[in-house]
Homo-oligomer: A and B are copies of this chain.
Amino acid sequence: MIVVFVRLFLLLCVGSIGATEVLLPSWNEGATKNCIIDFLSAVTDKNNPDYVAPEERVAVFDQDGTLWVEQPIPPEFLFTFDRIRSLAPLHPEWQTVEPYKSILARDTTSIIRNMTSEMIAKIMAITHSGMTTEVFGQIVNEWLDHAVDPRFKKHYTELVYKPMIEVVDLLKKNEFSVYIVSGGSQDFIRVYSEKVYRVPPENVIGTTGKTRYEYIDGQPVLMKLPEVLFIDNMKGKPESINLFIGRRPLAAFGNSTGDQQMLEWTQTGKGRRLELLVYHDDPIREYDYGPESKIGTFSEALMSEAVKKGWIVVSMKNDWKVIFP
C-alpha cells in the first residue's frame, strides 16, 4: 500500500526545489521531500495563489513517534514508572496491586499487555502532582539527565528524528509558528522542548493537569493537582489547537491514530495545506511497528484514510538518510 501511495505523490509533487542551498539534507530525494518543499514554496511566495501571510502560518507536530522514539514504551511512561518506584516506600499497598506491582517488578511485558488509557491517566495524575510546577521541572530535568535508552544507549533527548527537526527548522525559517500538540504531558515536554526541538514552552500543547495558586511560607506557588484538565489526544487535538492557538494549522505532522483528527482538521481549512504521517517501517535503524502495535498505532484504517485523503506517508526506511542526529 505504501508503495502505491508514494508513486501517487511522485506524480503530484514534481519538485520546485529552486534553492541553491540543500534543503532537508537528511531526507532522500524523491516525492516525499518534494511535497514538503513544494508546499513551503507555494504558501510563502507572494505571487502564488496559495500564499499565506506569516501570522497565519501555523504548523503542529505530534511528539511521540513523530519527533522522538516512542517504542517500546514512550519516555514519559518510563519517567512515570521511575516516579512510581521512587514513591513506592510511601505506598506499601502498591506491592500487590496492579499496575504498580508490574511496574515495581520491572515486568515490561505485563505492563504493556495490561495498559489502558485509564490506567495511564491515573498513574500520570499520581506521579505528576503534589509538588509545585517548579519542582516538577527539576524532577523531569534530573530524570532526563540520567535515564538512558537500553537499546540505543543514549539519553531520550538524543533519540529525536533528525529529518523531522530539519522540517521544524525549515518551517521556522519560513516564518511558521511551530507547535507541539502531544498526548503526552504539557509540563513534561516543556522542560526540554526549547533545547531539543527549538520549540519554546508557550508553543507546547499537551495533556494537562489542573494547578492551584497557593502560598508556601508567604510565597505564591502553583501546586500541581492530581486532576486532569484535558486529554490532548484524538478529538482532543483539534479542540486543544483551538483553545491554545485559535487558528487552524496549515500543516500537521503525526504518526498514529491519535493524530487523525488533527490532520483532518488541518486539511479541511481553506487553501493549500500539508498533512504528513511518519510510518515506522525501519526495524534496523529504529522500529517496524506493524498495524497491531499498541504503542503509536498506525492501523490499516488510518492507512486507508491517508491514501483516500492524500496525506503524505513518510517511509522512515526509504525517505530518511539518517534517523538520529
For the complex formed by this chain, how many copies does it contain in all?
2
Residues of B within 8 A of A77 (CB): none
Q: Residue of B at shortest CB range from A193?
A: B246
Bitwise interface map of A from 224 to 236 toward B, beta carbon under 8 Å scored 1, else 0: 0000011000011
How far is B246's CA from A287's CA once the two chains are assembled, in angstroms? 33
Minimum CB–CB distance for A281 against chain B, Å: 29
Assess whether B190 is in contact with A220, with CB atoms less than 8 Å apart.
no
Question: A202 at interface (Cβ–Cβ under 8 A)?
Answer: yes
Contact of A242 among B222, B247, B268 (CB under 8 A): B222
Assess whether A213 is in contact with B261, with CB atoms less than 8 Å apart.
yes
Contact of A213 among B190, B230, B238, B246 (CB under 8 A): B238
How far is B90's CA from A281's CA once the two chains are assembled, in angstroms? 56
Assess whether B265 is in contact with A220, with CB atoms less than 8 Å apart.
yes
Contact of A245 among B201, B213, B235, B265 (CB under 8 A): B201
Assess whether A208 is in contact with B243, with CB atoms less than 8 Å apart.
yes
Assess whether A239 is in contact with B220, with CB atoms less than 8 Å apart.
no
Minimum CB–CB distance for A222 against chain B, Å: 5
Bitwise interface map of A from 201 to 224 toward B, beta carbon under 8 Å scored 1, else 0: 110100010111100000110100
17 A-B pairs in the complex with CB atoms less than 8 angstroms apart: A55-B194, A133-B242, A177-B202, A186-B246, A187-B246, A190-B246, A201-B245, A202-B246, A208-B243, A212-B239, A213-B236, A213-B265, A220-B238, A220-B265, A222-B239, A222-B242, A229-B229
